[in-house]
């Protein structure tokens, strides 16, 4: 009889090993019923059933541990809006709760741009120039992201200290909870090429009183796209979606891009956005524009704010591009879809 019990024990252990790897839902039920039938047939003592239950409990524990690890990983991805960037050679996609979606820029890059194509024909170094411009933009974005994240962290610490003072006024000294203002040097912007656009952003922020509440927020829409929203913040008491650019000019597709981000953010958060704009940071600081709020010149900055009507129109254009992207198929779109 002991040999039979040992055989059953090995069978259950083997079953547990297989189910630990594959975890098909029906397997556990089949194993349970088979094992109980075997116990009845062999008239084995009750401790065998207890052993089986112990093994099943261990299996459930391992399953729960894996589920918890999965939750932790998803929580980390959730810091970027529950999406994960997937880069290919020429496109960006995002893994989202509803599947893998193309990025906003991937959809817009697939639209035919005659002016860009003509420039590529004239400029033999177009790829080198384009790659450098993209790299510059990425570096500027990262510097601003570091600065604003540090500022947001400082603000959170100040608010936490304020709450602590309210709870324990007698025990807490003001000096113990005050947090110093963020210094630009703390961001360690040592890249000479991005210092001008970075300082231009700081000047614009100071001149307008812009208060960021979100930086590089991952957003996705059930319309079938995803992306990373540059800035979410308050300007003149209104909530804005802001897209940062380091290009030479603000182009029409920039409105399409920021409109797509606004729609996706509102769809996911349920929060109403009152305004949207594109902030262009010039690397040479040779642009002089007048800020709407302060009426003072801001060097190296071009701020373009768009009306609600412009947003609605641009959104419909972008969604039509998005629909055509999905209808055509991701592999065919880039080379053929919008070429007449």
Question: Which parts of the chain register pLDDT below 50?
Answer: 1, 16-30, 46-47, 71-80, 119, 167, 169-182, 184-185, 290-296, 332-340
Residue at a domain's end among 78, 93, 111? 78
- Amino acid 126: pLDDT: 53
Task: Indicate the residue among 78, 109, 140 that finishes a domain.
Answer: 78
Domain count, the chain: 2
Give the pLDDT confidence score for residue 247 in this predicted structure: 86
Is residue 68 situated within a structural domain?
Answer: yes
Q: What is the pLDDT of residue 177?
A: 32
| 8, 121: one domain | no
Q: Are residues 262 and 231 in the same domain?
A: yes
Residues 8 and 58 grouped into a single domain:
yes
Structural domain of residue 276, as residue ranges? 84-126+192-337
239, 287: one domain = yes
In this structure, are 73 and 198 located in the same domain? no
Is residue 138, in this structure, part of any structural domain at all?
no
- Assess whether 221 and 313 both reside in one domain: yes
Per-residue HEC secondary structure of the chain comes to CHHHHHHHHHHHHHHHHHHHHHCCHHHHHHHHHHHHHHHHHHCCCHHHHHHHHHHHHHHHHHHHHHHHHHHHHHHHHHCCCCCEEEECCCCEEEEECCEEEEEHHHHHHCCCCHHHHHHHHHCCCHHHHHHHHHHHHHHHHHHHHHHHHHHHHHHHHHHHHHHHHHHCCCCCCHHHHCCCCCCHHHHCCCCHHHHHHHHHHHHHHHHHCCEEEEEEEEEEECCCEEEEEEEEEEECCEEEEEEEECCCCCCHHHHHHHHHHHHHHHHHHCCCCCEEEEEEECCCCCCEEECCCCCCEEECEEEEEECHHHHHHHHHHHHHHHHHHHHHCHHHHHHHHCCC
Identify the pLDDT of residue 129.
56
Q: What's the whole-model pTM score?
A: 0.64
């Amino acid at each position: 009889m002991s040999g039979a019990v040992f055989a059953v024990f090995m069978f259950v252990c083997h079953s547990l090993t297989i189910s630990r790897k594959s975890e098909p839902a029906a397997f556990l039920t089949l194993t349970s019923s088979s094992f109980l039938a075997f116990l009845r047939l062999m008239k084995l003592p009750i401790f065998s059933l207890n052993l089986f239950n112990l093994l099943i409990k261990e299996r459930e524990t391992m399953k729960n541990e894996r589920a918890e690890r999965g939750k932790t990983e998803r929580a980390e991805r959730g810091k970027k809006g529950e999406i994960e960037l997937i880069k290919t050679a020429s496109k960006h996609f995002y893994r989202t709760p509803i599947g893998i979606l193309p990025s906003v820029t991937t959809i817009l890059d697939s639209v035919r741009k005659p002016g860009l194509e003509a420039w590529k024909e004239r400029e033999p170094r177009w790829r080198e120039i384009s790659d450098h411009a993209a790299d510059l933009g990425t570096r500027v974005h990262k510097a601003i992201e570091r600065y604003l994240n540090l500022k947001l962290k400082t603000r959170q610490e100040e608010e936490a200290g304020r709450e602590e003072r309210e709870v324990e006024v007698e025990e807490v000294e003001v000096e113990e909870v005050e947090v110093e203002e963020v210094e630009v040097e703390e961001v360690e912007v040592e890249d000479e090429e991005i210092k001008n656009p970075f300082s231009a952003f700081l000047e614009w922020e100071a001149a307008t009183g812009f208060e960021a509440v979100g930086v590089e927020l991952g957003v996705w829409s059930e319309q079938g796209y995803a992306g990373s929203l540059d800035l979410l913040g308050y300007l003149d008491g209104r909530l804005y979606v802001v897209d940062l650019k380091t290009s030479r000019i603000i182009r029409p597709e920039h409105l399409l891009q920021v409109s797509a981000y606004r729609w996706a953010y509102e769809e996911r958060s349920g929060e109403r956005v009152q305004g949207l704009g594109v902030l262009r940071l010039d690397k040479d600081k040779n642009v002089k524009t007048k800020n709407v709020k302060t009426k003072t010149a801001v060097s190296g900055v071009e701020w373009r704010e768009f009306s609600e009507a412009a947003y609605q129109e641009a959104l419909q254009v972008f969604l039509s591009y998005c629909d055509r992207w999905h209808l055509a198929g991701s592999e065919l779109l880039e080379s053929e879809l919008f070429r007449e």
